[in-house]
Structure 1
Amino acid sequence: MKKYDAIIIGFGKGGKTLAVELANRDWKVAVVERSSSMYGGTCINIGCIPTKALVHQANSNVTNELANFEAKEQFYQNAINKKDATISFLRQKNYDNLNNLENITIYTGEASFLTKNDVKVVMDTETITLTADKIFINTGAENITPPIKGIQDSKHIYTSTSIMELKQLPKRLAIIGGGYIGLEFASMYCEFGSQVTILEGANQFIAREDREIANSVKETLEKKGITINLSANVQEIKDGEKEAIILYEMNGDVLELPVDGILLATGRKPNTEGLHLENAGVELDERGAIKVDAKLHTSVPHIWAIGDVKGGLQFTYISLDDYRIIKDELFGKNQRTVQDRQGIPYSVFITPPLSRTGLSEEEAIAKGFNIKVAKLPVAAVPKARLMNKTEGLMKAVVDADTNQILGCTLFSPDSAEMINIVDFAMKSGQDYTFLRDHIFTHPTMSEALNDLFSQIK
């Protein structure tokens, strides 16, 4: 048995940052990662970075100039190769950042709890037991496979992870699920040259978003050639000799869709399988996420959960903020909690990106606010005209009684950057006139915030 001050299970953003923090404070730290292909965590290897690398390649407009599908397929293969090279570099860098520190030992193997202090690690060549007074679980989330007939046997099924390893561009791609992950891949593969069909079981498109924004997103994606079928319930998948046939029910009819590839974008669940949390007394909620308190302690006080494994918003920057909460408890003023996080901004990297912070118009009305609403079509923005990227809509909601910004949604080029400006104004207590009258550089997309908030009368 090997004794450490801390064991961190999982190599994700919060865990790896915490490992360096503890090691620099002379703690002896064991980091356990089950796969050598996951050093650095989900974001680096199968999430944010590889997807955005491919989005960047897809949006280069080169595919629009290619004469045939074979040429587009070659461009796609090159994009996958570039993505792989980038990820390999970052994965090694993340490994070295920890491995080069004297106080950190990395174990590549499957971790499981024996007791509330002891963790078994099964590696390729040996099995060892680690023990520590403090343990941090940072194992992330995994894809959900829905119970559809034929799905387990089909050779044409991909997840958001496995499809990015595919070197052959699917000519016809079906995406089961019309959530944010599904939309990102739909937009990306459409830009690469695939014929994309989305099968969404709900009767409303991206239901949590403002209806005007959602309609603008749907219209833009459909203009690109993406088919979006709502209330489409997939019943069965049958493999043919060279294709798969999806049988789905929509509006009372059972329809068939022949495709070359099927992407499952049906959600993700906390990755706790095999950890044997029951041996440590760590409790899960009804969705299978690890229960935590406001300072990320599990039901066992000396065991914390970080990132996606505890449920809630699945963003890398949430995992990083989890690290800040733990750092503040261990070495700071012990004041930070998850309740400090209000109105987290997010972006969906379709083309153009969809970004939001705060309340939508419908949510603000439901909460009883007296509101004023500002709307600005992207086509009215000079920089958008210069870039010839005029699809989209900007919308902001303001409290009519206090002039405070309640929320903002930007479906526009550069929105992933712009939304941080709005969020900063909101968090710092500025009212909408701050953005209405702020001096921005020109020509930029950010200066559109002047025009957007000028719509408030």
Structure 2
Amino acid sequence: MEEFDVFVIGSGVAGQTVAKACADKGKKVAIADRREFGGTCANRGCDPKKVLLGVTEIWEEAQNLKGKGIEKLPELNWKKLQKYKRSFTKAIPAATEKNLKKKGISLYHQSPEFVDERTLKVEGKTAKAKNIVIATGYEPRKLSFKGSKHLSTSDDFLNLKKLPKSIIFIGAGYVGMEFAHMAARFGVRVTVLDSGNRPLSAFDADLVGTLTDYSKKLGIKFIFNSEVKAVEKLRKNFRVSYKSGKKMKSLTSKMVINTAGRIPAISALNLEKGNVAFNENGIATNNFLQSETNPGVYACGDVSDNGLPLTPLSGREGYVVSENILNGNRKKLSIPVIPSVVFTLPNIASVGYSEKEAKSRFKNIIVKQASALDWFNAKRINAPAYSYKIILNERTQKLVGAHILGPNAGETINIFAMAIHKGMKADELQSMLFTYPSLVNDIKNMV
């Protein structure tokens, strides 16, 4: 039996942060991952997605300026783009393992299972640890209708050697919308099916409505309030049967991708034997990110039930866990205001309270909402959509929410995140000097 001070399950940002910090302090550390080392974001998530997105950003800007100085659109090449993407991802697993080994960390290439509160079974061996850290992240939500085995995943899409002529995405969340936009610009015939009445339920309905209208102009077909009942493999296509209202309908495509959301990756851990409580959001933890039922277990990153499943927060949580393991429970997780963005084109981004949330929390609010299509920065690039909704607490005049749809909204939203975090008032933001005529400077007009 191997004995460790710390055993980390998961090699993403959160897991690596804990493992390295504890190893640097002389602790005997092990880390395990059933997939390639480096985690989702670097290998098969946000980073490769943004690389693939890059060329469609160029194409979109050229399309918007066609006839206004651009005469010929750039030609997109998926095969060459995939090769370029692999230059970012290919070296990550080996480099991650090398860095961990340098610190004397033991590596396991399998998902461990709990045997008891302090013991794990991994690679046919038994490992005991004073502290076990769960940092396994999220995985695609499994769908259980007939023929669900024929569904592809986001991993499959990111690694496609050749794009099919048609794709059906089941789910209109972050991933479904981002991939739909990407595929449509490459000429794929795209359909998005969702059980709700609109995409992106976590984002402002007014801005999402504008984004949906523009998405339709790209050729994306939406089918809402629909429940998929079966997927059937035909000779050359797949048939998706779904219920819409009281009627059964169907459509066919070359590929069907499950983008119905992601859930905590905990099913293989045998948590009951480890006395580790969990819920639909992940491992149940206290403010120290310590298991509520097993004090020897911590959880950090997406799999913890604290906060949103976002990479920047994962690193912060990993730091909190390492501090508490090394120094006793002294460090509580303090979550700052968290911005989020969907990398459709245009981006839709949000930080702070929604209009509905703000109305429930404050006696009176001010909502500043408008289209910015006639502003210089939109007209300059002939942007197809640019609008905003800014929310203030009327009593204090402080910013409490910001929602933007438009070019580079994923960058601009960070200024609003800083302003809300610092408790800034509208006039304080207006008094700031920004470069002109930059998109960030537009926020002074928004507030």
What letter corresponds to residue 106 of structure 2 in structure 1? T
1:324 aligns with 2:319: yes
CA distance in 2, matches of 1:64, 1:437: 35
TM-score by length of 2: 0.91
CA distance in 2, matches of 1:405, 1:434: 10
Alpha-carbon displacement from aligned partner over 1:95-116 (angstroms, at most 9, x marks no partner): 2221222x31222223112222
Contact 1:31 / 1:106 at 8 angstroms: preserved in 2?
yes
TM-score by length of 1: 0.89
CA distance in 1, matches of 2:76, 2:213: 29
Cross-structure match for 2:223? 229
What letter corresponds to residue 131 of structure 1 in structure 2? K
CA distance in 1, matches of 2:167, 2:62: 18
Please list, as runs of the form range in 1=range in 2, the aligned pairs for 1:210-221 lying within 5 A after superposition: 210-221=204-215
Contact 1:77 / 1:167 at 8 angstroms: preserved in 2?
yes
Of the three residues 281, 289, 296, the one matched with 1:296 is 289
Give the match's secondary structure for 2:228: strand
Contact 2:4 / 2:129 at 8 angstroms: preserved in 1?
yes
Alpha-carbon displacement from aligned partner over 1:241-270 (angstroms, at most 9, x marks no partner): 111111222243322211111111112121
CA distance in 1, matches of 2:409, 2:61: 23
What letter corresponds to residue 311 of structure 2 in structure 1? T
Contact 1:220 / 1:392 at 8 angstroms: preserved in 2?
no
What letter corresponds to residue 77 of structure 1 in structure 2? K
Decide whether aligned partners of structure 1 residues 78 and 295 sit closer, same or farther in structure 2, where only a CA change above 3 A counts. same
Of the three residues 139, 142, 146, the one matched with 1:145 is 142
Shift of residue 333, structure 1, vs aligned partner: 9.2
Alpha-carbon displacement from aligned partner over 1:170-220 (angstroms, at most 9, x marks no partner): 211111111122111111111222111111111244333222112111112
What letter corresponds to residue 230 of structure 1 in structure 2? F
Contact 2:238 / 2:253 at 8 angstroms: preserved in 1?
yes
CA distance in 2, matches of 1:232, 1:72: 37
Cross-structure match for 2:257? 263
4+ residue runs of structure 1 moved beyond 6 angstroms? 62-65, 71-74
Cross-structure match for 2:70? none
CA distance in 2, matches of 1:288, 1:395: 29
Contact 1:58 / 1:189 at 8 angstroms: preserved in 2?
no
Decide whether aligned partners of structure 1 residues 297 and 374 sit closer, same or farther in structure 2, where only a CA change above 3 A counts. same
Contact 1:378 / 1:394 at 8 angstroms: preserved in 2?
yes
Decide whether aligned partners of structure 1 residues 288 and 396 sit closer, same or farther in structure 2, where only a CA change above 3 A counts. closer
Identify the range of structure 1 (421-430 vs 270-279) with the bigger mean alpha-carbon deviation.
270-279
Aligned residues with identical type, % of pairs? 28
CA distance in 2, matches of 1:252, 1:144: 26
Alpha-carbon displacement from aligned partner over 1:298-332 (angstroms, at most 9, x marks no partner): 11111101122234521112211211222343456
Please list, as runs of the form range in 1=range in 2, the aligned pairs for 1:128-207 lying within 5 A after superposition: 128-152=125-149, 157-207=151-201
Of the three residues 237, 242, 248, the one matched with 2:242 is 248
Contact 1:14 / 1:306 at 8 angstroms: preserved in 2?
yes
What letter corresponds to residue 253 of structure 1 in structure 2? K
What letter corresponds to residue 383 of structure 1 in structure 2? N
User: Unaligned stretches of 5+ in structure 1?
Assistant: 66-70
Shift of residue 375, structure 1, vs aligned partner: 2.5
CA distance in 2, matches of 1:441, 1:177: 39
User: Unaligned stretches of 5+ in structure 2?
Assistant: 64-72
Decide whether aligned partners of structure 1 residues 128 and 171 sit closer, same or farther in structure 2, where only a CA change above 3 A counts. same
Give the match's secondary structure for 1:20: helix
Shift of residue 278, structure 1, vs aligned partner: 2.1
Shift of residue 73, structure 1, vs aligned partner: 10
Of the three residues 317, 340, 350, the one matched with 2:344 is 350
CA distance in 1, matches of 2:408, 2:46: 17
What letter corresponds to residue 47 of structure 1 in structure 2? G
Decide whether aligned partners of structure 1 residues 74 and 215 sit closer, same or farther in structure 2, where only a CA change above 3 A counts. closer
Contact 1:73 / 1:169 at 8 angstroms: preserved in 2?
no
Please list, as runs of the form range in 1=range in 2, the aligned pairs for 1:25-424 lying within 5 A after superposition: 25-35=25-35, 38-61=36-59, 75-101=77-103, 103-122=104-123, 127-152=124-149, 157-285=151-279, 287=280, 289-298=282-291, 299-311=293-305, 313-330=308-325, 336-338=331-333, 340-424=334-418
What letter corresponds to residue 294 of structure 1 in structure 2? N
Q: RMSD over aligned Cα, in angstroms?
A: 2.3
What letter corresponds to residue 236 of structure 1 in structure 2? A
